[in-house]
Amino acid sequence: MRVQSDPLHSLLDGSWFKLICGASYQHLPAVRSLALAYSLAGADCIDVAADPAVIAAAQEGISIAQKLQEKSNLNTLPWLMVSISDGEDPHFRKAEFDLNQCPSDCPQPCVQVCPAEAINFNFGGVIDDLCYGCGRCVPICPEELIGTRSFVSSPKEVVPWIESMTIDAIEIHTQAGHHDDFLRVWKNVAPIVGRLKLLAISCTDAPNIIDYLRSLYELISPLPCPLIWQTDGRSMSGDIGRGTTHAAIAFAQKVLQAKLPGHVQLAGGTNDYTVEKLRQENMLRPQKLRSKYNSVSGVAYGSYARGILSPILAKLEITGLQNTQLNLTINRPMNQLNLKLEQDIELLGQAVGMASQLVSQIKKIS
Ligand code: SF4
Ligand code: SF4
């Protein structure tokens, strides 16, 4: 069941839900399906990699959701956010190794540990589009063969096409001490910030993080749109277990106590325990009560939100492959071979149902 929401209203009443597809996740069919299912489930924002193909896939998913919503008289849609970074950042990297160096008797723990099924020896090792840089495979390799390569997009190149693709929001990933790097990115983002509905700044905790965030606020203010501080507690770990949510909550509490202007939204380690824990800590309240109490505006979910839908997306892929084999035998054109989530009503219903279970947790506060 979809929970109807307006993104701005959700921010104000503390029920904001963001889906993080992943700053380096580039599996286009999965991004499209995730955007579709979570849009129909009532997500307020879909956050994707700064890659035109990924943005187009997410836009297509949202647009299909819009068409389906029109039939049910629901008309709110999530904002589309693009994540960029001001320097090297674990969210912006890919694992890599040379499979020719792997001993033939290695039990392949790298394959088991990868939450994205991104390591497959039939496809040359790491499948780039599927790897989202979590880094779990790196320490597990007994031969120390796995490394990572970072990619830092040039804001000068990225911002113009972000502008041309009708993006609602930009998120800048930064880290304490990156002031000059942030300034370099900001110089490119500032001219288009008036066209955005939202700006987000994402960072991990550090001893001097509050002073750093204050310095960023001085740099970017006044802003013509709302601002979110994304407190990235334990990056890309929400699917590991309930306990990972504690780091995100602790960091959010620290930022809330500093009373920085803007909204505070959790990420990094969030899962189906996060809202329950926020309620226990009395951290979910509408904005009008926030001056009295420290409360967050919402939660972003990455690996956990993707993970709960992955069995459904895998089924879709298998059905698509079976159809492909069938269609190839009857000479259908290639563009008719991939199965889209909306073409399998049963799987779409399951995907939206699972996504709604997660989205509705935070929507219940209003
Ligand atoms: S474990 Fe993480 S870093 Fe390694 S291949 Fe899988 S997604 Fe990429
Ligand atoms: S764990 Fe290391 S050595 Fe073993 S298969 Fe994976 S990459 Fe190769």
What is the β-pairing status of strands 263-267 and 16-20? unpaired
Q: How far apart are CA 183 and CA 143, in angstroms?
A: 40
What is the pLDDT, as a whole number, of residue 154? 76
Share of the chain above pLDDT 70, in %: 89
**Confidence label for 291 from pLDDT (cuts 50, 70 and 90):** low
Higher-confidence position of 89 and 3: 89
The answer to whether the CB of 141 is under 6 A from ligand 2 is yes
Q: Which atom of ligand 1 lies nearest, measured to the CA of 236?
A: 2
CA 135 to ligand 2 centroid distance, Å: 14
Share of the chain above pLDDT 90, in %: 70
Let me know the angle formed at the C-alpha of 321 by 320 and 326, rounded to the nearest 5 degrees. Answer: 95
Q: How far apart are CA 203 and CA 198, in angstroms?
A: 17
Distances 278 to 107, 146, 240, 272, 282 between C-alpha atoms, Å:
40, 37, 19, 11, 6
- Pull the structure tokens for residue 201: 């700044």
The answer to whether the CB of 102 is under 6 A from ligand 2 is yes
Ligand 2, atom 2: closest residue by C-alpha = 141
Asked if pLDDT for residue 337 goes beyond 50, the answer is: no
Q: Which of 74-83, 166-175, 230-239, 316-325 has the lowest mean pLDDT?
A: 316-325
Asked if pLDDT for residue 332 goes beyond 50, the answer is: no
Structural domains present in the chain: 7-89+154-305 (3.20.20.70), 93-150 (3.30.70.20)
Asked if pLDDT for residue 141 goes beyond 60, the answer is: yes
| Contact present, 80 and 51 (Cβ < 8 Å) | no
- In the three-class reduction of DSSP (H, G, I as helix; E, B as strand; rest coil), residue 366 is classed as coil
What is the pLDDT, as a whole number, of residue 318? 82
Residue (of 195, 191, 213) closest to 263 by Cα position: 213
CA 123 to ligand 2 centroid distance, Å: 14
CA 172 to ligand 1 centroid distance, Å: 22
Q: Which of 183-192, 230-239, 336-345 has the highest mean pLDDT?
A: 183-192
What is the pLDDT, as a whole number, of residue 163? 79
CA 116 to ligand 2 centroid distance, Å: 16
Mean of per-residue pLDDT scores for the chain: 89
Ligand with an atom nearest the CA of residue 114: 1
| DSSP states along 199-256 | EEEEE---TTHHHHHHHHHHHH-S-SS-EEEEEESSTT-TTT-GGGHHHHHHHHHHHH
